[in-house]
Structure 1
Amino acid sequence: MASPIKKIIRTELTEEQKQQQTLESLLSEVALNKDSLQETLLLLKELHESGLLEALKDLLKAKEKVAKIAVDQALREPVTNLINNAMAAGGALTELNPEVTGKLVSGLANGLQKAEQGLEDNSKVKMFDLLKVLNDPDINRAIGFGLNLLKGVGEELKE
């Protein structure tokens, strides 16, 4: 039977051996990532030649001043109004039926085309023409939609 191990001998690497292992590991990584490293170097070269690299370095040096300016600009009333309006619009859009919104947008595009054609014709609209077009089902549908839209807006404005 073998005798039990009573002493564990650890091999301590010298500082030079540690550096050698680090270099070998680094060279291995460079070899594995040759293409991406070459592209990174090309990118850095382009940034340097265009002057953007120096601008980025200066920007990083002045990061506290830049951050303060960015925060000051973001806290301006027009910017906060923009953010609040975007959030309100986003909230309203989540409540709308996407199919109806799609129909409305395509209808608006079609209506703008017809309006442009009407401008090119440069014909005068008479009172009798207005009464006559009320019998057109498309116009009647659009007027009904518009009136109901105005009713809904008015109800919300009342609150």
Structure 2
Amino acid sequence: MAKPITKIDEPILTEKEKQDQSLKEVLQDLSQNADGIKETMQLLQELHESGILGAINNLVEAKEQVAKIAVGQMLRPPVTNAINNAMAAGGLLTEMNPETTKKLMGGLSKGLQKAEEGLQANKKVSVFDLVKLMRDPDVNRVIKFSIDLLKGLGEGLKD
């Protein structure tokens, strides 16, 4: 009886045969994707002609220096202050009731419109006008809100 085959010898390719096989695969890929490759080459040519490709190449070559500059800029006190302030503002917004924020933004918008109208009218306000305004429920609501806001700010500023 014949012995079973347990080992299959795979053909060993020479370096030239490996190169020929790789070249054949690349040519096949090129022929299957000709349109995309042509468009890519056109894009690269346009980037080259406009100088963008050269700038990108220089940027990549100088990546270490660019990274140092970027990190140096990020560590400047104004930038770190801005980041810290943004984080604090984000924290404040997460604590606020969205309905209150919506009302406040709506009121601010209306208030700015009224203020613009007042500037356009260029009318002087007398002491009697101020006394009458104290009876206006909208003005009274804002005065009470402002007093409460000032009280809360003062409490928050305690050490």
2:100 is the counterpart of 1:96: no
User: What does residue 156 of structure 1 align with?
Assistant: 156
Superposed CA deviations along residues 120-139 of structure 1, whole A, max 9, x for unmatched, are: 11111111111111222222
In 1, the alpha carbon distance for the partners of 2:32 and 2:103 equals 54
Change (3 A) 1:79 1:7: closer
Q: Distance in 1 between matches of 2:36 and 2:134?
A: 67
Structure 2 Cα separation of the partners of residues 101 and 46 of structure 1: 49
Query: For 1:24 and 1:139, how far apart are their aligned partners in 2?
Result: 83
CA RMSD, Structure 1 to Structure 2 (Å):
2.4
CA gap 1:25/1:111 in 2 versus in 1, 3 angstroms = farther
Alpha carbons of structure 1 residues 144 and 33: separation in structure 2 relative to 1, 3 Å: farther
* Separation (CA, whole Å) in 2 of partners of 1:33 and 1:139: 71
Q: Percent identity?
A: 60
Is the partner of 1:5 in helix, strand or coil? coil
Unaligned runs of 5+ in 2: none
**CA distance in 1: counterparts of 2:102 and 2:64, whole angstroms:** 46
Query: CA 1:92 to 1:34, structure 2 compared with 1: closer, same or farther past 3 Å?
Result: farther
Unpaired stretches in structure 1, ≥5 consecutive residues: none
Aligned to 1:22: 22
TM-score (norm: length of structure 1): 0.83
Cα distance between partner residues in 2 of 1:115 and 1:75: 41
1:139 matched to which residue of 2?
139
How many matched pairs? Answer: 159
Counterpart of 2:130 in 1: which secondary structure?
Answer: helix
Residue 122 to residue 6, structure 1, CA distance change in 2 (3 Å)? closer
Q: Which residue of 2 aligns with 1:126?
A: 126
Q: For the residues of structure 2 that align with 1:39 and 1:99, how far apart are their CA atoms?
A: 52
- Structure 1 residue 37 displacement after superposition: 4.0
Q: 3-state SS of the aligned residue for 2:123?
A: coil
Letter of the structure 2 residue corresponding to residue 9 of structure 1: D
Paired letter, 1:113: Q
Go from structure 1 to structure 2 and tell me whether the alpha carbon gap of 1:87 and 1:13 turns closer, same or farther (over 3 Å shift): same
What TM-score comes out, normalization by structure 2 length?
0.83
Greater Cα shift, 4-13 or 66-75: 4-13
